[in-house]
Amino acid sequence: MLIPCDVPSCANPIADDARVCAGCANGLRLALLKVGDENGLAVDLDLTLARQHRTGPGNLGRRSTETPLAYDPRASEAASVLRNTLSTWCRLLHEEIGGRLPQDDLAPMARWLSRFVEWLRRSDIGAECVDEVVSAVAQAERSVDLPAERVLAGVCEGCGTPCYARAGADRTRCRECGTEITVSEGRERLLRAAGDRLVTAAEGARSLRVLGHDVSAAAVRGYARRGRITVKQRGSANRPLYSLGDVLNAYLDSPAA
Ligand SMILES: [Zn+2]
Ligand SMILES: [Zn+2]
């Protein structure tokens, strides 16, 4: 008889004697890794909240009834939900397992919990833990998703997803599969892959859009006008052709990228 995974949103059968399937256990592991990482979600949340605090209500002599548009309550909500979720599960697990509780901060709590994923898989509270932690982490990710503050790090070697890093950070982790990616190496791989392919402004823009950024053909023509890329050849209807590697390079170096 096939026993289904205990996690409510999961329909996978379980292949061993656990209560939570291996896929859900990996989901929990990845969620905890994102928070526990030294460059991870805990830092993103802190930065988002600090920035909002500066531009938040009550600054610059604004009346307290006025809320500037820049203020977004999602990040502080998501941060407190995540903190409550992790500390609740730390306490629950501590009652069952003992040992020493971690420091009461997001990253140490996540790292501590990640040591017990296999134990949780076999426990009758495991499914609930997966459900709550994974959704709290997803909510936190959405609340710090500020593309303007991010730079393209490259395409994940594990799964092909375009990855973004915080401006100034040298590494990030793929949101889909957790593979680590170094910004400089990831960008270099992209440039190598783009190579000397010749593209029109519109094709160049479309290639960049694949990476998740909305770039117009006019922006690509703007690179050419400002001398950041040069016309390599003329295509049909005498349209200028550029090297895709050059276009990508100009895009990566532009302040908006
Ligand atoms: Zn499952
Ligand atoms: Zn990946």
Run means of pLDDT, 10 residues per run, the chain, 257 residues: 87 90 94 88 86 57 46 84 97 93 95 96 96 95 72 87 84 89 87 84 84 81 92 90 90 66
Ligand lying nearest the CA atom of residue 178: 2
Calculate how far, in angstroms, residue 122's C-alpha sits from the geometric centre of ligand 2. 27
Nearest residue to 176 via CA among 159, 152, 198, 155 = 159
Calculate how far, in angstroms, residue 127's C-alpha sits from the geometric centre of ligand 2. 24
Calculate how far, in angstroms, residue 96's C-alpha sits from the geometric centre of ligand 1. 22
Task: Give the span between the Cα atoms of 113 and 99, in whole angstroms.
Answer: 12
SS3 44: helix
Nearest residue to 47 via CA among 138, 162, 153, 143 = 143
What pLDDT, on a 0 to 100 scale, did the predictor assign at position 213?
66
What pLDDT, on a 0 to 100 scale, did the predictor assign at position 255?
60
What pLDDT, on a 0 to 100 scale, did the predictor assign at position 168?
79
What is the set of domains in the chain, with CATH numbers? 22-143 (no CATH), 147-182 (no CATH), 195-253 (1.10.1660)
8 Å CB contact between 130 and 20 = yes
Nearest residue to 110 via CA among 126, 134, 131, 128 = 134
8 Å CB contact between 154 and 190 = yes
List, for residues 56-99, the tens digit of each pLDDT value: 444 444 444 444 445 668 888 999 999 999 999 999 999 999 88
Calculate how far, in angstroms, residue 39's C-alpha sits from the geometric centre of ligand 1. 28
What pLDDT, on a 0 to 100 scale, did the predictor assign at position 182?
92
Residues flanking ion ligand 1, Cβ below 5 Å:
5, 7, 10, 12, 21, 24
List, for residues 209-227, the tens digit of each pLDDT value: 777 667 889 999 999 999 9
For the entire predicted model, the pTM comes to 0.69
